[in-house]
Structure 1
C-alpha cells in the first residue's frame, strides 16, 4: 500500500450511518411521486405535499398526477409527455404549473421515468419535480427587460428615422432658401455698388454708413454661400465612395489652391511618413483639410511668420491627422462650447462666414471619427482628427 493509503482515515460520527432512507425520500429538497400508468398517485413525498398544501390521504389513490396540473399543462401531459414516456421510457425537465390546494400556481420542472414489469408492460411512473418559482421570476424579469429594450430600440429607430427625414427636409429647405435668396442679394449688391459709383452724399456720416451697409450686405452673401456649401457638400458626400488617398498629394494640392489667400509667405511642414494614406471620401477629406489649412493661413499672427504643420500617425483607434499653426489662437475657455456652431466667428477682423469649423466637425462625425482641439491665444491652435482605420 502507498503511504497515502496507509494514512488513518478521519473518524466518522456513527449517527451519519444511521440515515433513514424513508426520511430522505420524504424530506428531499425536491418533490417525488409515483403513479400508475394512467396517472393515479400511489406515493408522494412530504416535500411535494407541503408545496401543494394537501394531506397525503387527499391525494394517494384518489387523484391522478394530471389532476394537479393546470388545464394547459394537463393537455400537454396527456398529448405529449405520457406518449413520450411509453415510447422512450423517460422525459426530462418539462416545464409545468401545478395548482395548489388554495388555487395558487406552482411552476415546476418535471422529469419522469417509466418502469416496466418482467413482461415489458408499464408498471409505474416515478416523477421528480423541482420548484422553479425563483427561476420563473428571473425569466419573467428577463423577458420584461428584453421587451423594454426592444421597445426602446424601436422608439430609437423611429426617432432616428424622424431625425433623418427632418434633416433631409431641413437641408432641402436650407438649399432652397439659400438658392432663392442668392439672386436678390446679388442684385442688391450690384445696385448698391452702382449707387456708390453714381450718387453723391453730402452728409459727413454717409461714408461710414455706406461702409457699414456694404459690410452687412457682404455678410449676408457670405452666409447664403455658406448655407449652400453645407448642403451641397452633404449631397455630394452621399454619392461618393471612400478611396485610398495619398495625404501628401492632396495636401500639396490644397496648398496650391491657398496661394491667393496668402498675403505673405507661409511655411508648411508636412510629415505623413507614419501614415501616408487614408481611406475616406475624397471630397470630404479635401473640404476638411482645406478648411483647417485656410483657417491657419487666414488667422495668422501679424507679428510673426506664419507656419503650419500637417502630420499623420497611427493610434489605437486607427489614424490621427494633425493640423497645427502658430497663429492668433482661440480662447477655448470662453468659446469652447460654441467652437463648431454654424456661423460662429471668433476673429471678426478677418473676413469669413463661420462655416469652416462647422463643416470640419460634421465631416469628422460622418466618418465616425472624433476631433480634439488645443489652442492658446496669440500662440496658435492644434486640431487632431482621429479616424477609424
Structure 2
C-alpha cells in the first residue's frame, strides 16, 4: 500500500498537466483577439472565478484594470506583433469580487505560416508581496530623507562646524558653517582644501590620529589649530563618534569642531602666571625651610615640647607648599618639553622593594607587594618612582578607610603593567575620563581633598614620554586600580654577561 502511494506521488510530480495546473505561477493562453483559450488552476484561484466562467468567455482585457486595457491596446499587443517575446510587463489583474492584485507577465507568441499572431502564452507572477516591500522601502527612504533634511537644516543653523563621514573616514556631509569657515563652495570640496587650513604642525598628527581612530572604530578627539578667513590661527576641538550597527560595523561618523581658542588662551595665561609665580616662590620657600630647620635645632636644645610640636606642624606645612610648587614647576617643564629623563635599566622587583618607604615608616597602611619575578625595564627610575608614589599617596588620601594597598607587576606581551589597588569607595564612572587632565580634581563627597589637580597629569606625561600607557579602573564601593605600562626590556647576551 505504501509503495503504491509513493508511485502515485512520483507520477503526480512528473505529470505535465498536473504541473501546469498547480504551478506556483499563473499560466494563461489567449488568441489573437484576446479571447482566453486556456488557464491553469493557480490563476483561476487568484482571480476567484470558475474555469467555465473564463475559458472561451472572457478576454485578456476583461481580467485587467482600465489602465491595463489601454496599455494592452497601445503597447502590449503591438510589441507582441513585432517580436516573439515580451517580458516583465506590469498589469493589475481584477478579481471576480472587484479587488485587484499586481502582476508581472512574461509572454511568448505563436505565429502561423504567414507570420500572423495566432496565440499568446503568458506566465503570470503575483507580485503583491513585492509591491508591499517596495512600498515599505519607499516609505523608509522618504522617512530617512525627511530626517536627513531636518538634520541638515538644524546643522546649517548651528554655530558649530558639523560634519559626517563614511565608515572609511571620508567626509560625506558638511554644514553651512563648515563651508563658510573654510571658504569652500557649498556642496563640494576637496580634502586637501580642508587640510590646507590646518596648522602645519598639526596636519600629520591629525591624519595619523584620525586614521587610527577609524581603524580601531573608537571615539576621536583632538585639539588642532585652524586658520580663519583673516589668516589667524585659532584652537579648535575636533570630535567624532562612530555610529555602530548591530553587527559591530561602523555605519557613519558624526563629528563636530568647536572653537576653544579663548579657553586655550586662558590656560596659556594661567600657565605663564603659574610658572613665574612658582619660580618666585621657590627661593623664599628654600630660605624658610632652612630657617625652620635651624629653629628646630634650637627648640630641641631648649626642650620646649609645645614649641617642638608647633615646629613639626610648620615643617609639614612648608613641605606641603614645597611639593605644590614642585608640581607647578614640573607642569611648566613638561608642557614646554623641557623635562629630561635619565634612563637606565633596572629591576622591577628591586625597585618595588625600595619604593614607598614613607608608607612603611608610618605603619598606618599595609603595602602588599606581589612578587614580580625577573622583570627589567629601561627608564628614569626616579621619575617612574614618582608615579608609583603618587598612586600610593592618592590611595592613602582618598581611601583612608582602606588600610590595605596592593601593588603588583605583570608582563603583558611586550609591556610591563604596574598596578596600585585600594579597597576604598571608588570613583564615579563619569569622572574617570578626566582624572589625568591638568588641574582636574575629583569632588569626593564627604571626603577631604587637597592639591592642584596636577599630580596625575604629571604622572601621565612621565609615562607617555617613556612610551607607556596610563589608566584607572574603578567601581563605586569596590575600590580603584591605577595602573601604567612600560616597554619590557629584554637583555641580550652581552648585557647578561656584563651583569654577571
Q: If the length of structure 1 is used for normalisation, what is the TM-score?
A: 0.49
Report which structure shows greater RCO (CA 8 Å, sep ≥6).
Answer: 1
Q: If the length of structure 2 is used for normalisation, what is the TM-score?
A: 0.41
